Amino acid sequence: MNKNLIFLIAFALIIITISELIGFQAIPLGSFTIGLLPLVFAIILTMFLGLKLFRKGIMKKIYSEKNIHFASTYLILIMLPLMARYGADVAPQIRDILQVGWVFIIQELGNLGTVFIGLPVALLLGLRREAIGATLGIGREGELAYISEKYTLESKEGRGVLSIYIIGTLFGAIFFSVFAPILLDLGIRIEALAMASGVGSGSMMSAASATLVARIPEMESTILAYASASQLLTSFLGTFTMVFLAAPIQAFMYKKLVRGDKK
């Protein structure tokens, strides 16, 4: 057994305590309100304190290679109780959800927004083959596997998807916890935002749905039910949407747009 693990656990307890004592902070920015949850403080603190320059003395023991390896290998297990919770949110509302089931399926197509919005921007910025990897999806395991199988990760496409993967891993949760309430202030319905939260990444989904819950606590059960049903659907349909829709549409748009700018 890894003896530094005790430092990791003690450190986690301290970070949780600090984050929870700071608590939910609503920050008004003009007509928008950005809500920062304890989970945002937790990820910012642990990322910041993990910077190489702090790794001296006790911090070196906390952020030891073994501990970082432990955290990244078993993050998926640590996340399982969250997934186990979602059944309890969906089950009582299963009738309502099935009633608007087609809306859940339709909004899955919204995930093509990565191609429709991301690809033109990427090409405008001068990216070419990297753009294929970077805009196929939000760069989670599914896209990573698809791109590495088709182009390998050493290719330009591979670099694109890896970059999105890294950015998403580092900042995805923070981004969604800020972006979801902005759309709420723009007048999008909470149910729609809850459904959209099922983007296919566990931590991004929890960040998005958690800020929505913090903003409208009386809708907690609906928000969590819709978010988790949509997340589950994404894990079923996501691969198909990517292979049969996102990839062909992307190839078509890429050809049109790249040819267009040569003229």
Partner 1 sequence: MSIQKNKYVKYGLILLLSVALILFTMEIKLIKNPESTPITAMTFAGLGVLWLFSMIGIFISDMMQKSSVKFIRNFPILGWVSITSLLLCLLSDFFVQAIQAVDFLSITTPILTFAGISVANRLVDLRNTSWKVAIVAVFVFTGTYAGSALLAQIGLHLSGN
Residues 105-134 that bind partner 1 (CB under 8 A): 106-118, 121-122, 125-127, 130-131, 134
Phi-psi region of 96 (alpha: psi -120 to 50; beta: other; left: phi over 0): alpha
Q: Which of residues 139-158 bind partner 1 (CB under 8 A)?
A: 139, 141, 145
Nearest Cα neighbor of 88 from 182, 184, 224 is 224
Distance CA 74, CA 130 (A): 30
* Cα R_g (the chain), whole angstroms: 20
Of the candidate residues 2, 6, 9, 154, the single one contacting partner 1 (CB under 8 A) = 9
Q: Which of residues 15-54 bind partner 1 (CB under 8 A)?
A: 15-17, 19-21, 23, 37-40, 42-47, 50-52
Please answer whether residues 73 and 81 qualify as being in contact, where contact means their C-beta atoms are separated by less than 8 angstroms. Answer: no
What CA–CA distances, in Å, run from 112 to 42, 62, 65, 84, 106?
31, 40, 38, 28, 11
Burial of 106 (0-12, 13-18, 19+ CB in 10 A): exposed
Of the candidate residues 180, 181, 250, 254, the single one contacting partner 1 (CB under 8 A) = 180
Alpha-helix residue ranges (DSSP H) falling in 101-246: 101-108, 113, 119-124, 129-135, 141-150, 156-185, 190-196, 202-215, 220-240
For residues 155 and 163, which CB has a smaller minimum distance to partner 1 in the complex?
A: 163
- State the DSSP code for 55: -
Specify the stretch interacting with partner 1 by CB under 8 A; choose among 26-34, 149-157, 230-238, 252-260. 230-238
Specify the stretch interacting with partner 1 by CB under 8 A; choose among 28-36, 146-154, 232-240, 255-263. 232-240
Asked if 167 interacts with partner 1 (CB under 8 A), we say yes
3-class SS of residue 125: coil
Of the candidate residues 203, 222, 242, 254, the single one contacting partner 1 (CB under 8 A) = 203
For residues 30 and 77, which CB has a smaller minimum distance to partner 1 in the complex?
A: 77
Q: Which of residues 48-67 bind partner 1 (CB under 8 A)?
A: 50-52, 63, 67
CB of 198 to partner 1, least distance (A): 8
Of the candidate residues 132, 173, 242, 247, the single one contacting partner 1 (CB under 8 A) = 173
Asked if 258 interacts with partner 1 (CB under 8 A), we say no
